[in-house]
Structure 1
């Protein structure tokens, strides 16, 4: 307790120097805590989003158009058709639900209120494929799909943005790219995952969207942006992916060594890939934080060495009245560890605060791993202990006579 009290007094008497010495440790620790928390939160958010859409779902995207040697991105060319989806439903045994969809951004207007929304033209299987159903009203039926009726089902965000003043959204008329659609349902709220709002969508029959809003039917049928394939069992996804790939290759007359004009994506693969990316990013940031901790340790060692020189006479007096080498060693070690430990505690608190603010701003789960906190305290303790060894040994080794003679 006496050594602890003396260490506190010595550090408090040089508050500015102590604070600046702590800075490197604070930056290193809060970087580890904040980035680890943000990485875990983003990973959790993506996992929740994919699980909400179904972990037993395959997604087939249309191919990418190319300009010279530059790819324009998946879906930039029409290589998939509604007929492809129907063929998959008939010929792929592992496919429980198959749904084709056409996606575009469009201006949606209701009584003078204008907003840009995502519009999906879908078939009847889309709610089952995406695990999302109307909370009010209904989805469109077979007769409305066959006759390209101008009916729409809106998401919760669309209702809030455009029809907030309407007591009952069912039966109201909205305009999508100038075409009038009657609202027949409101989808259940799925919430936002990061920047993606899954409730900011207008759903209309695929036939109506293809004929009235897009108008780019392929020669072999109705062009679609993608196809969703839901398997009855997540363990059957690999089999379903193999079957879907072969069916589409035969339908599109693709033979080796030709490249596919589509891409089949497994939801589980997305989770694994994203987890690996986040893991690598976290390792990189932790490595950078480790450099900061190393610099902080050097700062502690430098300040403690300066402190030994400044307090040479004090050390001589203590030794003259009977202080042992171990007592001097422990005093300077205690000061170094205290600087680092307090800096580590401040870094952990700041890191948690930054992670909490980021989680609220970008809307992902707030996750703080107990292991990151334990690691933060452990690292700060180790940095202080290692950085304080040489200055403490130098102080303990001083000759009391020489020390008393110093100015």
Structure 2
């Protein structure tokens, strides 16, 4: 690396200073000025650690959300009921009773690309056991729901077809509800809870699924759709049992796209919707959600890394400034070294080595700090810890490049000093 700069100078009858000797002198000089060296490194440390930490956090968050969405099934279409309106104000998607259980059954029978279909009814309610109570989300579902959502009981069982048909008052708890009402590790099977005053027998506990954004997917209670509709909601649609949404599972991504087309047309026919009328339902594709989120997080990460890269530029300017000051402070030393035979090339390499040592050591400290910050963030905020080898390589290359670029001008200025002028300097 230092040989690249020797072409600028032509030493006469002088020995070439070994690279190891140059490096040793650079390290000794920097060590003798610890405070100045540390402050010079700070810009590089902050820049490199920011780049690595932000890249890792961005990739970790992205992977965590992808895992959560994939756990719900990327081959699933979710159909939500339309929005009711009060005056000219929309009450939000799902507030209108535009979907029915009969719609779900029709999709299962008439949409060839739909591998599995499940309808559900969702409400928030207070659940009571003994002296404990909690506000949670109640899901009235059919038998296909656990398979489509890839969530099954880890204790006890789900309700049966007979219990669904007879609107049995049985319930399956999410782990968060279990811990709140019964305590950590308790066995609630065959215990009785009350939902809006109605008694329900606990028959199972679902496996933990964690949080998806602000929503705790374990803070849920599952009961038969028929029981939910008849006992807790009591507002059946004219065409059948009203539901909040329908889940449609395809065999693969291609089948899912075909199912989306078939479901849309089937529901329009069933609901007597013809152009230019707006649909009274909305379809969302889990795969599209994953793709959109990945793109958004990726762009955000690139933007923040670019901003963090400014710290590296600041760090490089800091190194250049300190090295220029060092040349001025060490003018007499440079004159003495030249007087005893040091070549321009040796002086150049000496100052260039100091700049590169500062940037490399700062880069290493920055990389370690960045990894530590990313690891701490992953543990605190509960997302996967991901470190890209590419980000470490890029970080090291950047730190080396910063030192090389920032050290060239001060090093050349030092090498060009006239030894007589330098010796006269105070």
2:94 equivalent to 1:78: no
Match of 1:395 among 414, 417, 420: 414
Find the counterpart in structure 2 of residue 227 from structure 1. 246
Corresponding residue for 2:8? Answer: none
Q: Counterpart in 2 of 1:205? A: 224
Tell me how far apart the structure 2 counterparts of residues 73 and 17 of structure 1 sit (CA, whole Å).
60
Q: Does 1:56 align with 2:81?
A: no
Q: For residues 221-267 of structure 1, give each alpha carbon's deviation from its aligned partner in whole angstroms, at most 9, with x where no partner exists.
A: 33222111111233311111111111122223333333333222222
What does 1:314-393 correspond to in 2, within 5 Å? Answer: 314-393=333-412
8 A Cα contact 2:52 2:392, kept in partner: yes
User: Corresponding residue for 1:127?
Assistant: 146
Stretch of structure 1 that moved more, 208-217 or 285-294? 208-217
Query: Equivalences for 1:306-321 in 2 at 5 Å?
Result: 306-321=325-340
How far apart are 1:22 and its partner, in Å?
Answer: 1.7
Secondary structure at 2:65's aligned position in 1? Answer: helix
* C-alpha contact 1:192 1:363 (8 A) present in aligned 2: no
Contact (CA 8 Å) 1:57, 1:229: kept in 2 or not?
yes
Secondary structure at 2:115 match in 1: strand
Q: Are 1:193 and 1:363, in contact at CA under 8 Å, matched by a contact in 2?
A: no
Cα deviation for residue 160 of structure 1 reads: 2.7
Aligned to 2:9: none
Query: TM (normalized to structure 2)?
Result: 0.90
Displacement of 1:340 in angstroms is 1.4
Match of 2:282? Answer: 263
Q: Secondary structure at the match of 1:169?
A: coil
C-alpha displacement at 1:71, in angstroms?
A: 5.6
Which of 297, 312, 320 is the aligned partner of 1:278?
297
Computed over aligned residues only, the root mean square deviation of the Cα atoms, in angstroms, reads 2.1
User: Is 1:143 aligned with 2:170?
Assistant: no
User: Which of 3, 6, 11 matches 2:30?
Assistant: 11
Residues 389, 79 of structure 1: alpha-carbon distance in 2 compared, 3 angstrom cutoff: farther
- The alpha-carbon distance between structure 1 residues 216 and 330, as it changes in their structure 2 partners (threshold 3 A), is farther
Alignment TM-score, normalising by the size of structure 1: 0.94
C-alpha change, 1:314 and 1:165, in structure 2 (3 Å) is: closer
Q: Which has the larger radius of gyration?
A: 2
CA distance in 1 between counterparts of 2:42 and 2:269 reads 64
Consecutive unaligned residues of structure 1, counting only runs of 5 or more, are none
* Cα separation, partners in 2 of 1:71 and 1:344, compared to 1, 3 Å: farther
**1:118 and 2:137 aligned:** yes
Q: Contact (CA 8 Å) 2:179, 2:185: kept in 1 or not?
A: no
1:109 equivalent among 125, 128, 132: 128
Distance in 2 between the 1:8 and 1:103 partners? 68
After superposition, the Cα gap between the structure-2 partners of 1:257 and 1:387, relative to the gap in structure 1 and judged at 3 Å, is farther
Distance 1:160 1:246, change over 3 A: same
Q: Structure 2 unaligned runs (5+)?
A: 1-19
Indicate if the aligned counterparts of 2:178 and 2:184 stay in contact, CA closer than 8 A: no
Aligned residues: 407
State the 1:192 CA deviation: 4.3
